[in-house]
Structure 1
Amino acid sequence: MMKATSEIISLLNELDNNRIADDLEGQDIDFKEWIQRSFDDNIKLMIKMAVCMANGGGGSVIFGVADKKNGRNNAIKGVPANLDLYAISKRIYEKTDPHLTPHFDYIDVPYGTGKLLIMHVFPGMPPYTTTDGAATIRQGKDCIPFTGTLRRQMVSTTSEQDFTAEVIYEDWKKLFSPSAMEKIREILVEQRAPELLQQMNDEDLLVSVGALKNDYLTKGALLLVGKTDAITRLIPQYSWGYRKMVSDTDYIIKEDGNQAIPIALYELERYIASDNPLVTIQSGLIHPEFHTYPVLALREALLNAFGHRDYRMLGSVMLKQYRDKLIITNPGEFIGGITPQNILHHPSVTRNSHLMDLLDKLKFVNRSNLGVPRIYRSLLIEGKEPPVYREVGNHIELTFIASPLNDGFKNFVNAMTNRGFHLDTDHLLILQYLLRHGEIDTATAAEAIQRNQEQAREVLSKLSIEMKLIEAIGRGRGRYYTLSKEASAQLKGDMAYERQATLDDEAIKIRILSILKDRPLRNKEIRTMTGLDQKQVQRLMKSLYDEGVRVVGRGPGANYVLDKE
């Protein structure tokens, strides 16, 4: 953890108590004397220390202090007053891999040249090396060679660290933002938090939720109630941004900020609201309103981005709003076995447990593994397309498609609820898929609902037998499902109901040709798949002669094959 200036000054005062700078060094702090003979030698030392500290979890290096001399007057030599800190940062950035961007501060002192230089190195995603491949890692007071064994040990323990749980040893009242706290209190009222929580003063509230520990804020708490300048100084890798896009590369609105998460959430929701069309549907005396992007889904998605982002990395929680979609990205990769293909039902895993705990206690989120399912359900229940998650490099990307409200589907869900049937996310995903594609088999259903095939069969069975919303066509490996006549009539309105078992000729041909590319088919198998009789299958397959279909053998054992030449 980076040392505050006040802590460093207190340590330097110890030099007058018969101690030397070497005695004051530790895992996250080191003292170095400025090398007078060569500016480049200082740059090389800074690069080496930046790599060492970054691999060791971050820390502060103070330049201008001799580490073997007693007394401040003897030990504090200082650094030149005219250093080009931008040029120094640029050199370190260029000579490290992955690139490191330390933060520099001066300390004014009444000794030596009158100035010390602090290099704050933030924890990132190690391993880091110099561009020539050299690497060390901080262990205690020393920078030791970063060997393969140490790298494996580091990887195994990295996931156990929680950046947001680290304590900031500064006066919390000087870091505190009343504006951020005001937004938190608005959320508490909006979410109907207990009166006792709402009525607490700021300090008691922060203590009660674990944000204030022994009169010190945690980094997670700073992200929620910190002043912008304090966040920028102590967590400089944090930021957020908004772009109103007119193409993949051009935008007409650009906004970036470092304000606390509650303020960032308010600002981002305000930008979205300016272009989030509202539709009102009539339902008796009540006229409910629906946005293109459901407000609940957006809030859950934004808070997930802030709550789960990797705070060891530089980068922004970025929201890009296009004409036909909205994309939210955040720094960090999926962890704990979560992938875009299993995120809907995977048990919740977070790298920022403390921050997520604070968000939960302050009623911003619900930690009962409901965030992602809520996003899905709030979209699907309005007949909209499900969200799309992707891992792009070392960022997570979530896309909302600007789907119109399907009031017929919304009313259908309400009608099913009134009949005593609860349509959960799995049911909604399958119904939405059938509305768009007409048919679904077990393997496709399993992929759509992010379940295994046995679980998918159970969901399909319930929709078919208990709810009677879908019906099975065919048997065995060729079985697939379509909307039932009743469900089709309700969901498609005046659209004619056509049983997929008597698929139109073109659809049947496409299905059979697709299977023939992989294996031969018998007349009996095709009858099972399509519901046609023996003579109908013969006529159908004869019509596919021009497509390369041939008969091999005679009688019941004859096979239809595809001549791929």
Structure 2
Amino acid sequence: MLNQLETKTADELESQLLDFKQWNKRSRDDNIKMMIKMAVCMANGGGGSVIFGVVDNVKGRANAILGVPKDVDTSILQRRVHERTDPHLTPQFEDIFVEEGTTRLLLMNVFPSSPPYTTTDGSATIRQGKECIPLTGTLRRQMMSTSSEMDFTAEVVQEDWKELFSHSAMERVREIMSRERVDETLLSLSDEDLLRSIGALKDRYLTKGSLLLVGKPEAISKFIPQHKWSYRKMISDTDYSQRDDGVHAIPVALYELERYIAVDNPMVTVEAGLVHPEFSTYPTIALREALLNAFGHRDYRMMGTIMLKQYKDKLILTNPGEFVGGITPQNILHHPPVARNNHLMDLLDRLKLVNRSNLGVSRIFRSLLIEGKEPPVYREIGSNIELTFISSPLNKNFKNIVNHMSQENLHVDVDHLLVLQYLIRHEEIDTTIAAEVAQRSLEQARELLSKMQNEFHLLEAVGRGKGRYFTLSRNAYEILKGDLEYERQQSLDKEAVKIRVLSILKTGRSLTNKEVRQLTGMNRKQVHRMIQELKTNGVQVIGKGAGTKYIYKS
């Protein structure tokens, strides 16, 4: 295309998906502002690319190509665009090296996603033809009303479905349906009737979503070349001992990936009377839900692969596409369900492969936490979503406490499990931390901790007011760690309280007996005894009666 600049201007080469911009030598900030504006414009218009370093109204390569400075750091540019767009956009930058100008051009690729997008100050444009026009209220309403029409997986593949259909993929679908105890009436249908009943066949054509479910690999490669999955058994961050790549339908890919994981997914047997249940390092429920979510929510308009890396101590699952609809790693557990590929997710739901009520993420968390294992970790890295499972052993005592609560007819949900799991590692928790851990509001976290104290008797409160925090109760401690551990922790807690009071006094602030009681949860006599013990550390008592205060003097 650059060779065409000999006879055409860059403006003549521009299109819906391509724009040229000259680099402003006088102001790098102006260039960043232009990048942010163009990223929003292209994203709202369905994606596209911008080449920086080309004058758009002259002919001749030597005249048109001026280039960009060689010291421009693309990672900084990417971060600035990400920070100043809402929802965040993370364009990909590439260098194009030429002979003219500075010898360097900069290509910014903006991938299609889920508009509308704006700058952080609320302004927005949208690509229409070769122009970026204001994204007015009317255009925004039209965009939202037609969002369902933008679903890539709902597009129809105009070829005879039987030529695209994979019997082995359909067999895998039926196996999963049977395992999930789907209605026998649905299972008894012929392949064609089953596909038609769930909306996978429109007239005699498959949709791209149904092709992803029951299509032959060669058909998927032809019509959905973006679809790909990969497995790596990692030796280190840079080396692997085993690999596999495929373009199979989702149920077949699911089977292959689970098979690879199972080779190095140790089982632990727990003796419980006549029954000896087995528990794997990575619970099957968590793995299946995570893999199906990765395939169901990935952005099929982007090139990329669903990558599963299996390390000795963790699993990392990555899929192309950013979070949509306001979902973030910090609210994913309780956020209302949002789907990029509504048609595909509907098909998976009707086949009972997934649940559209946002139970999938909760199942992932619960299946790990109920065994006393680390919760999963979600991250958004560039234009990809990463999910990490930590290889942690079964905690039999944690299972015991969950079983104990069940026997008491007390339902322990994911929020409770997250708080308990945190307390195993950190010994104490307050409302602010509980809100962060359980992904709840402060008010919800306050109610959560209160219920775990007053109804479940799993927690004990220490202190009052803003200094209030919670620890495991004696009963919970005895089940989880044993009585001796509880006594040891009580001793540590007492020392921690003394250190806390002493540190406040060392700031120059005085405290009354009442204030120390509110801070620590102790009674009047306990505070008095503690102050006596702290006198050797420089604490002094001044005044008498109600006017008594504690101060520190070195």
| Worse-matched range after superposition: 524-533 or 315-324 | 524-533
User: 1:486 & 1:222 partners in 2: Cα distance?
Assistant: 54
Partner amino acid, structure 2, of 1:253 = Q
Query: Deviation of residue 554 (structure 1)?
Result: 6.2
Query: Deviation of residue 489 (structure 1)?
Result: 0.7
User: 2:313 & 2:362 partners in 1: Cα distance?
Assistant: 23
Q: Within the alignment, does 1:522 sit opposite 2:511 as a pair?
A: yes
Structure-2 change in CA distance of 1:162 and 1:434 (3 Å): same
| Worse-matched range after superposition: 192-201 or 289-298 | 192-201
Q: Which residue of 1 aligns with 2:87?
A: none
Identity %: 58
| Worse-matched range after superposition: 234-243 or 509-518 | 509-518
The answer as to whether partners of 1:237 and 1:311 remain within 8 angstroms in 2 is yes
Structure-2 change in CA distance of 1:363 and 1:451 (3 Å): same
Q: Work out the number of aligned pairs and report it.
A: 465
Q: Which residue of 2 aligns with 1:339?
A: 328
Secondary structure of 2:378's aligned partner: strand
Q: Which residue of 1 aligns with 2:528?
A: 535
The TM-score, its normalising length taken from structure 2, stands at: 0.74
User: 1:144 & 1:212 partners in 2: Cα distance?
Assistant: 37
Q: Within the alignment, does 1:379 sit opposite 2:345 as a pair?
A: no
User: 1:515 & 1:335 partners in 2: Cα distance?
Assistant: 45
Q: 1:145 aligns with which of 131, 144, 152?
A: 131
Where does structure 1 lack aligned partners over 5 or more consecutive residues? 1-33, 60-89, 101-121, 129-135
Where does structure 2 lack aligned partners over 5 or more consecutive residues? 20-41, 49-94, 98-103, 118-124
Structure-2 change in CA distance of 1:494 and 1:159 (3 Å): farther
Q: 2:269 aligns with which of 274, 280, 287?
A: 280
Q: Which residue of 1 aligns with 2:257?
A: 268
Q: How does 1:341-356 map to 2 (within 5 A)?
A: 341-356=330-345
Q: Within the alignment, does 1:166 sit opposite 2:155 as a pair?
A: yes
User: 2:170 & 2:200 partners in 1: Cα distance?
Assistant: 12
User: 1:450 & 1:271 partners in 2: Cα distance?
Assistant: 33
Q: Which residue of 2 aligns with 1:206?
A: 195
Secondary structure of 1:467's aligned partner: coil
Query: Deviation of residue 226 (structure 1)?
Result: 1.3
Q: Deviations over 1:74-105 (max 9, x none)?
A: xxxxxxxxxxxxxxxx989x9884348xxxxx
Q: 1:251 aligns with which of 240, 252, 255?
A: 240
Query: Deviation of residue 535 (structure 1)?
Result: 3.3
Query: Deviation of residue 347 (structure 1)?
Result: 0.9
Q: 1:297 aligns with which of 282, 286, 289?
A: 286
Structure-2 change in CA distance of 1:397 and 1:523 (3 Å): farther
User: 2:426 & 2:405 partners in 1: Cα distance?
Assistant: 22
Q: Deviations over 1:387-442 (max 9, x none)?
A: 11111112111111111001121122122212211111111111111222111111
The answer as to whether partners of 1:473 and 1:500 remain within 8 angstroms in 2 is no
Partner amino acid, structure 2, of 1:323 = K
Q: Within the alignment, does 1:449 sit opposite 2:438 as a pair?
A: yes
Query: Deviation of residue 561 (structure 1)?
Result: 7.9
Structure-2 change in CA distance of 1:269 and 1:514 (3 Å): farther
User: 1:184 & 1:518 partners in 2: Cα distance?
Assistant: 66
The answer as to whether partners of 1:47 and 1:95 remain within 8 angstroms in 2 is no
Secondary structure of 1:378's aligned partner: helix
| Worse-matched range after superposition: 446-455 or 372-381 | 446-455
Query: Deviation of residue 277 (structure 1)?
Result: 0.6
Q: 1:410 aligns with which of 399, 410, 430?
A: 399
Query: Deviation of residue 345 (structure 1)?
Result: 1.0
Q: 1:51 aligns with which of 3, 17, 29?
A: 17
Structure-2 change in CA distance of 1:356 and 1:234 (3 Å): same
The answer as to whether partners of 1:382 and 1:410 remain within 8 angstroms in 2 is yes
Q: Which residue of 2 aligns with 1:105?
A: none
Secondary structure of 1:487's aligned partner: helix
Q: Which residue of 2 aligns with 1:71?
A: none
User: 2:468 & 2:480 partners in 1: Cα distance?
Assistant: 23
Q: Deviations over 1:300-359 (max 9, x none)?
A: 111111111111211111111111111111111112121111111111111111111111
User: 1:461 & 1:295 partners in 2: Cα distance?
Assistant: 33
The answer as to whether partners of 1:52 and 1:137 remain within 8 angstroms in 2 is no
Structure-2 change in CA distance of 1:349 and 1:544 (3 Å): farther
Q: 2:182 aligns with which of 193, 197, 210?
A: 193
Q: Deviations over 1:348-389 (max 9, x none)?
A: 111111111111111111112211111111011101111111
Partner amino acid, structure 2, of 1:147 = I
Partner amino acid, structure 2, of 1:399 = T
Query: Deviation of residue 463 (structure 1)?
Result: 1.4
The answer as to whether partners of 1:520 and 1:562 remain within 8 angstroms in 2 is no
User: 1:465 & 1:99 partners in 2: Cα distance?
Assistant: 55
Secondary structure of 2:344's aligned partner: helix
Structure-2 change in CA distance of 1:552 and 1:311 (3 Å): farther
User: 1:43 & 1:184 partners in 2: Cα distance?
Assistant: 54
Q: Which residue of 1 aligns with 2:383?
A: 394
Structure-2 change in CA distance of 1:527 and 1:166 (3 Å): same
Q: Deviations over 1:224-283 (max 9, x none)?
A: 111112211211122111111111222111222111111111111111101001001111
Structure-2 change in CA distance of 1:147 and 1:328 (3 Å): same
| Worse-matched range after superposition: 200-209 or 49-58 | 49-58
Structure-2 change in CA distance of 1:212 and 1:515 (3 Å): farther
Q: Which residue of 2 aligns with 1:237?
A: 226
The answer as to whether partners of 1:176 and 1:226 remain within 8 angstroms in 2 is yes
Query: Deviation of residue 49 (structure 1)?
Result: 4.7
Partner amino acid, structure 2, of 1:98 = M
| Worse-matched range after superposition: 493-502 or 524-533 | 493-502
User: 2:509 & 2:392 partners in 1: Cα distance?
Assistant: 41
Structure-2 change in CA distance of 1:553 and 1:304 (3 Å): farther
Q: Which residue of 2 aligns with 1:312?
A: 301
Partner amino acid, structure 2, of 1:336 = G
The answer as to whether partners of 1:51 and 1:137 remain within 8 angstroms in 2 is no
The answer as to whether partners of 2:16 and 2:127 remain within 8 angstroms in 1 is no
Secondary structure of 2:460's aligned partner: strand
Q: Which residue of 2 aligns with 1:479?
A: 468
Secondary structure of 1:497's aligned partner: helix
User: 2:305 & 2:551 partners in 1: Cα distance?
Assistant: 57
Structure-2 change in CA distance of 1:202 and 1:372 (3 Å): same
Partner amino acid, structure 2, of 1:349 = V
Q: How does 1:92-171 map to 2 (within 5 A)?
A: 97-99=107-109, 143-149=129-135, 153=139, 157=144, 160=148, 161-171=150-160
Structure-2 change in CA distance of 1:313 and 1:417 (3 Å): same
Query: Deviation of residue 123 (structure 1)?
Result: 5.6
Partner amino acid, structure 1, of 2:203 = N
Query: Deviation of residue 527 (structure 1)?
Result: 3.3
Question: Cα RMSD (Å) of the superposition?
Answer: 3.8
